[in-house]
């Protein structure tokens, strides 16, 4: 459960659609956060510490607990702040939403993002 005194940070790049989805979720939930801009090709040591496996954005940090991968971050946000649900409450509809989110990431966003870089 979310506490009254919280620290929320997002480490990201402005041009990343994966970071944008995290920011949209936080705004939908009404969660205040601090944005830490990273530099392409020169990621901060803090980001690398928080995401040592992939060393990429976004990284979401809630009360000094880091979470990586935008879809995982979205689920955490939805489960932590109950107002304005992102995922449907019905398990089947929630599974479909996860399927299409993964499909869009794998087949649409990722190829377009890497093609434009």
Task: Please count the structural domains in the chain.
Answer: 2
Shared-domain flag, residues 95 and 63: no
Specify the pTM: 0.85
Provide the residue range defining the domain that includes 2.
1-86
Shared-domain flag, residues 9 and 59: yes
How far apart, in Å, are the Cα atoms of 11 and each of 71, 73, 102, 117? 15, 12, 22, 19
Summarize pLDDT for 61-75 with one digit per residue, the tens: 999 999 999 999 999
H helix intervals, the chain? 17-29, 45-50, 70-80, 91-104, 110-116
Shared-domain flag, residues 102 and 51: no
Shared-domain flag, residues 7 and 55: yes
Shared-domain flag, residues 42 and 12: yes
Structure-block tokens of residue 65: 């607990």
Summarize pLDDT for 16-30 with one digit per residue, the tens: 989 999 999 999 999
């Amino acid at each position: 459960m979310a506490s009254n005194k919280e620290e929320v940070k997002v480490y990201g790049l402005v041009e990343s659609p994966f970071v944008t989805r995290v920011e949209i979720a936080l705004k939908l939930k009404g969660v205040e956060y601090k944005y830490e801009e990273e530099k392409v090709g020169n990621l901060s040591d803090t980001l690398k510490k928080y995401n040592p496996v992939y060393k990429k954005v976004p990284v979401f940090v809630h009360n000094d607990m880091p979470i990586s991968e935008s879809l995982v971050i979205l689920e955490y946000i939805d489960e932590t702040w109950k107002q304005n649900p992102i995922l449907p409450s019905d398990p089947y509809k929630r599974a479909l939403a996860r399927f299409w989110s993964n499909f869009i990431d794998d087949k649409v966003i990722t190829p377009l993002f890497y093609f434009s870089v």
